[in-house]
Amino acid sequence: MTDFAVETRNLRKLYGSKVAVRNLSLTVPRGQIFGFLGPNGAGKSTSIRMLLGLAEPSGGSAFVLGKPSGDVAVRRKIGFLPEDFRFYEWLTAAELLRLHGRLSGVPSRDLQKRVPALIDLVGLTPHRDKRLENFSKGMLQRIGLAQALIHEPELIFLDEPTSGLDPMGRRLVRDIIRSQRDRGATVFLNSHLLSEIEITCDQVVFIREGEVVTSRDLRSPQETAAHVLVRARNLTQAMVDGLAPWSASAIFDSDQLTFTVSSRDVLPDILRHLVGSGAEIFEFTPQRMSLEELFVSVMGRDEGL
Amino acid sequence: MNLWIMAAITFREAARKRILWTALIAGAGFLVVFGIGLHFQMADFSPSTPPFVRYEILSGMLMVGLYTVDLLAVVMTILTSVDTLAGEITSGTIQAIATKPMPRWQILLGKWLGFVGMLAIYVVLMLGGTIAVAGSVAGMTPQRPVEGAALVFFECVIALSICFLFGTWFSTLTNGVIVLGLHGLAFMGGWLEQMSGFTEGSRLSMVGIVASLAMPTEAVWRRAAFRMESPLAGSLPQFAIFSDYSLPSPQMLVYAAVYLLIALAVAIVHFNQRDL
């Protein structure tokens, strides 16, 4: 069994002459909550559609749970909540889950237990016999999440699972996502809510124009990006220029220096460089960058979220 | 098997969304009007009306009733099925289904079978109702009603398959315009061919045949009408609108069957290959 739930190599998607995904290469370890980030038009949804077999790649390769993307049999182990989940609105919540369960190959006797349990899990028990046409957007998101979980999949793709949800709903979804990881599933999460991603995901990748720009392990302190504030005497422009191997964002003003590093591993080297160059350090304070700050620093301010 | 789950859910959709019931209620309204019309016609016959004329008039009325059912069935086929693939692809509804562990052909064929089941019920109820009304009110029955019903059903399945074919390419509205347009072409072509029979105009006949080759639904109806109408039909020209002046051959039925299978096969292949 491969160690990766998802693995792509140079994945590419063209629509005519328009490039939707340029060259996506990434690996998603099993058992993680994996955040897939990028600005609008970065190719996130197209990439997910290729991984699920909904769109045919123009080039490269993609493997999902060790099988080529689109493999019919492996879909039994995959759950999917599409963005703006829509389904037959004439079905009730319970009927929807039974249908998806049957299509996913869940035996009827298992569905008798799972359907009410999942409806309860997403907080829709009072609405189980209501038709979906009477559901709000938030309720549709909840029942959509339940349908993605009805067959206890090994890999779950969630495309904007918290859109349309109130704070309580977002918290519920967050808890459900964590419980899926705790039972051993891999969650592939695409969301614009970076604060949600930050407190939920184990690892994130940033993509732009269908290419991975950078990735972060959010559970590793060493890999955490940081803003650093330095107050020192005898700072010179030459010392600041000497920071180039570690940071390209240093701002020097009299006795104060600020810069950003992508990993805290380099902080001792920077400190040695400054002291060795003759700076007298009074303060050297790394401050954790939020994911949103990191996103902006990686993507640039004008790309939009 | 997921094919049958899709067929069942499609059938249930029609029932739950009241499509089938609305169509049947409208059909019942038609049967009432048809029965009243026949009743008044019977009452209007005088004792001096020759039995042969009575028979020709009632036979003509029965064929008009059956033709109306045929039109209703084809239009209902198009209106109910035009959105099933096209709409679900456009809205993204199909995505949650197409990621389930089943090949795409099962989705398409399952939906197609669901509609086929619904159409079978509709055709049996509507044609059966028309025949029952004509029999009870006027004592008229068509020749070979089972064969006629089978051909009308076949015609609906052709229209259904064309809806599925273009539904894999185009939006609901475009699909509807194309399929209704094709049926309109077939309708006109059928009548041109029929008219050519009166005057033995080979060029007019050729236009009709080409139209029937493009969309053979109306040709199948004319074959059904020929099989159901009285052998005495056409004796009085003013009641002979469905008579066999220009009868589609059995080869046309074979062509229509091949046409249906190719439409369905191309729909499956394209649905299988396209991005969703």
pLDDT tens digits for range B189-203: 888 877 776 666 677
Evaluate if residue A204 carries a pLDDT over 50.
yes
Return d(Cα B247, Cα B257) in angstroms, integer: 17
* More confident of the two residues A279 and B205: A279
Mean pLDDT of the residues in chain B: 88
Express as a percent the part of chain A with pLDDT over 70. Answer: 96
As given in the structure block, the two tokens for residue B270 are: 């394209």
A130: helix, strand or coil:
coil
Return d(Cα A268, Cα A178) in angstroms, integer: 35
Q: Kindly determine whether residue A88 and residue B276, on different chains, have CB atoms separated by under 8 Å.
A: no
Evaluate if residue A1 carries a pLDDT over 50.
yes
Task: Could you list the beta-strand ranges (E) of chain A.
Answer: 4-15, 18-29, 33-37, 59-64, 67-68, 78-81, 155-159, 186-190, 203-208, 211-217, 226-233, 251-253, 256-261, 280-288
Chain A contact present for B272, CB below 8 A: no
Chain B residues inside the 8 Å CB shell of A84: 92
Q: B177 phi and psi, to 5 degrees?
A: -60, -45
* A226-288: CATH architecture: 2-Layer Sandwich (3.30)
Q: Kindly determine whether residue A73 and residue B101, on different chains, have CB atoms separated by under 8 Å.
A: yes
Task: Please give the pLDDT value at position B195.
Answer: 75
pLDDT (mean) for B28-36: 93
Task: Please give the pLDDT value at position A92.
Answer: 94
pLDDT (mean) for B100-115: 95
Task: Please give the pLDDT value at position A2.
Answer: 65
Task: Please give the pLDDT value at position A66.
Answer: 92
Residue of A52, A78, A99 to mutate when probing chain B, most B C-beta within 10 A: A99
What's the structural domain count of chain B?
Answer: 1
How far apart, in Å, are the Cα atoms of A280 and each of A232, A236, A244, A276, B261?
5, 11, 20, 10, 85
Evaluate if residue B240 carries a pLDDT over 70.
no
* A→B interface, C-beta within 8 Å: 49, 52-56, 72-76, 78, 80, 82, 84-88, 90-91, 99-100, 102-105, 144, 147
Q: Which helix (H) or strand (E) holds B209?
A: helix B202-214
Range of the domain at B79: 2-273
Q: Which helix (H) or strand (E) holds A132?
A: none
pLDDT (mean) for A224-233: 85
Express as a percent the part of chain B with pLDDT over 70. Answer: 93
Of A72, A84, A90, the CB nearest to B101: A72
Of B13, B101, B276, the CB nearest to A104: B101
With tokens 């599933």, the residue in question is A185
pLDDT (mean) for A84-100: 90
pLDDT (mean) for B215-239: 78
Q: Kindly determine whether residue A105 and residue B101, on different chains, have CB atoms separated by under 8 Å.
A: yes
Q: Which range, of A44-48, A65-69, A243-247, averages the lowest pLDDT?
A: A243-247
Task: Please give the pLDDT value at position A185.
Answer: 95
In this prediction, residue B235 has a pLDDT band, given cuts at 50, 70 and 90, of low
Supply the Cα-derived Rg of chain B in whole angstroms.
20
- Nearest CA to A29 out of A3, A51, A55, A50 is that of A3
Of A49, A76, A87, the CB nearest to B101: A76
- Model pTM score: 0.84
Task: Please give the pLDDT value at position A305.
Answer: 45
Distance from CA of A73 to the nearest CA of B (A): 6
A4-217 carries CATH number 3.40.50.300: yes
Evaluate if residue B70 carries a pLDDT over 90.
yes
In this prediction, residue A221 has a pLDDT band, given cuts at 50, 70 and 90, of low
In this prediction, residue A222 has a pLDDT band, given cuts at 50, 70 and 90, of low
List alpha helices for A20-163, DSSP H: 44-51, 93-103, 108-121, 137-149
Return d(Cα B252, Cα B243) in angstroms, integer: 17
Mean pLDDT of the residues in chain A: 88
Evaluate if residue B233 carries a pLDDT over 70.
no
pLDDT (mean) for A126-137: 92
Of B91, B95, B101, the CB nearest to A54: B95
pLDDT (mean) for B199-209: 76
Q: Which helix (H) or strand (E) holds A287?
A: strand A280-288
ipTM score assigned to the predicted complex: 0.80
Task: Please give the pLDDT value at position B205.
Answer: 78
Q: Can you give the residue ranges of every domain in chain A?
A: 4-217, 226-288
